[in-house]
């Protein structure tokens, strides 16, 4: 069986930074370090950090007084920041800088008096964070159908922002529907969707041309990983989202000569290796990495973790 690995795949700069913030906080302050929400959506990452002394909570009420607290890469609402400040908790903010950029764009549009539309998935922590960061009402749209249902007068000055991990194609359609509906609309170009999301989506498209089956390594609650699986399915290749090699079902590979593997932005490369090992237990495999786009983006750590 031939195995092709998509390029790029796996960790993005925001995930590398978020995990490093927790690791450095553990080194600098000693365990326990509290993390609000999974630092990134991956069980393996979370369990590894738990072993080093990180404690994961969903609500700040679970954090004891004075405990070092990290906000996850997905960002938080202002109410969460305010609660941490009111309790005087020492906070390290691991929100990806590209998520923060969206928050800032949203705040700018609201300050200019525009009605704000967020394109994103209801209930996702990044969406909850973004909606809770902008000082004003936010209309959430998830589909072209949702745009048709917006009841704002069409000449209302509006602006849109997006979740960072959306399908580039679906988002282009939703933006198109918004632009067709509203006469005074502003928002970022589609190319402003996070670089890592775009690169992984175009890499899985390239991969799909060569393979009979696509395995996406990533967690079920990872938005960007789900989008990669969807793209595979949309172009007609049987595609499965799996956490690791244990979830590989040999039946999927019965007629497959070539298998493609990619990984979501929150999935570590050891899990890709684990899937390749699981394939080897089924039969001999030869692995090649596709040529793809090189990424050399790095984000700076918070200052308190780089000095002393
Ligand atoms: C923050 C923003 O948002 P998603 O569910 O894809 O998060 P995940 O933790 O899987 O990936 C990292 C990440 C975090 C991506 N964008
Ligand atoms: Fe940041 Fe993009 Fe990675 Fe999300 S996928 S953490 S926005 S770099």
Report the CATH number that the domain containing residue 47 is assigned in CATH.
3.40.50.11270
Say how many C-beta atoms besides its own lie within 10 A of residue 106's C-beta. Answer: 24
**How many domains is the chain built from?**
3
According to the model, what pLDDT value does residue 306 have? Answer: 93
| Domain identity same for 133 and 215 | no
232, 216 contact by CB (below 8 A): yes
Residue 79: inside a domain: yes
User: Is the distance from the beta carbon of residue 54 to the nearest atom of ligand 1 less than 6 Å?
Assistant: no
185-186 and 213-217 as β-strands: parallel, antiparallel, unpaired? unpaired
- How many angstroms does the Cα of residue 87 sit away from the middle of ligand 2? 29
**103 among the known binding-site residues?**
no
126 is catalytic: yes
Residue the block writes with tokens 């072209």:
144
User: Is the distance from the beta carbon of residue 40 to the nearest atom of ligand 2 less than 6 Å?
Assistant: no
| Domain identity same for 183 and 226 | no
User: Is the distance from the beta carbon of residue 73 to the nearest atom of ligand 2 less than 6 Å?
Assistant: yes
Give the number of the ligand closest to the Cα of residue 38. 1
| Domain identity same for 6 and 18 | no
According to the model, what pLDDT value does residue 111 have? Answer: 98
Q: Is 136 left (phi over 0), alpha (psi -120 to 50) or beta?
A: left
Residue 202: inside a domain: yes
CATH number at residue 239: 3.40.1010.20
| Domain identity same for 88 and 103 | no
User: Is the distance from the beta carbon of residue 41 to the nearest atom of ligand 1 less than 6 Å?
Assistant: yes
| Full residue range of the structural domain in which residue 149 is found | 98-191
- Beta-ladder partners of 287: 3
Cα 195 to the chain's mean position, in Å?
Answer: 11
Residue 307: inside a domain: no
| Domain identity same for 204 and 236 | yes
Give the number of the ligand closest to the Cα of residue 194. 2
- Ligand 2, residue 99: give the atom nearest the CA: 7
According to the model, what pLDDT value does residue 5 have? Answer: 98
| Domain identity same for 103 and 187 | yes
Residue the block writes with tokens 């399915």:
233
Select from 194, 200, 219 the residue to mutate for testing ligand 2; criterion: most ligand atoms less than 8 Å from CB.
Answer: 194
Strand residue runs (E) in the chain = 2-5, 33-36, 54-57, 69-71, 91-93, 115-119, 138-141, 158-162, 185-186, 213-217, 238-242, 258-263, 286-289
Q: What is the number of alpha carbons within 13 Å of residue 192 lying toward its C-beta?
A: 13
Profile the chain (308 residues) by mean pLDDT over runs of 10 residues. Answer: 98 98 98 98 98 98 98 98 98 98 97 98 98 97 98 98 97 97 95 91 98 98 98 98 98 96 98 98 97 96 88
Which one from 81, 126, 128, 230 is the annotated catalytic residue? 126
User: Is the distance from the beta carbon of residue 265 to the nearest atom of ligand 2 less than 6 Å?
Assistant: yes
According to the model, what pLDDT value does residue 191 have? Answer: 73
């Amino acid at each position: 069986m031939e195995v092709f690995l998509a390029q790029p795949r796996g960790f993005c700069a925001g995930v590398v930074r978020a995990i490093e913030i927790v690791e450095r906080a553990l080194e600098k302050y000693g365990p326990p370090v509290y993390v609000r929400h999974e630092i990134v959506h991956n069980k393996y990452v979370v369990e590894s950090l738990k072993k080093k002394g990180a404690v994961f909570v969903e609500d700040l009420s679970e954090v004891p007084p004075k405990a070092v607290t990290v906000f996850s890469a997905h960002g938080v609402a202002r109410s969460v920041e305010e609660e941490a400040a009111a309790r005087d908790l020492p906070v390290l903010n691991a929100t990806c800088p590209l998520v923060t950029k969206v928050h800032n764009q949203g705040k700018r549009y609201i300050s200019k008096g525009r009605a704000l539309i967020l394109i994103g998935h209801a209930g996702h922590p990044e969406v909850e964070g973004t909606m809770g960061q902008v000082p004003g009402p936010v209309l959430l749209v998830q589909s072209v159908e949702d745009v048709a249902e917006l009841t704002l007068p069409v000449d209302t000055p509006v602006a849109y922002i997006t979740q960072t991990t959306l399908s580039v194609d679906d988002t282009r359609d939703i933006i198109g529907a918004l632009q067709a509906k509203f006469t005074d609309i502003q928002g970022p170009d589609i190319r402003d969707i996070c670089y890592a999301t775009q690169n992984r989506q175009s890499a899985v498209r390239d991969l799909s041309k060569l393979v009979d089956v696509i395995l996406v390594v990533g967690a079920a609650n990872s938005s960007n990983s789900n989008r990669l699986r969807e793209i595979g399915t949309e172009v007609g290749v049987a595609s499965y989202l799996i956490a690791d090699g244990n979830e590989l079902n040999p039946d999927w590979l019965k007629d497959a000569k070539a298998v493609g593997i990619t990984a979501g932005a929150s999935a570590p490369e050891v899990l890709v290796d684990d899937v390749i090992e699981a394939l080897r237990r089924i039969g001999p495999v030869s692995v090649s990495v596709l040529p793809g786009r090189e990424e050399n983006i790095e984000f700076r750590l918070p200052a308190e973790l780089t000095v002393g």
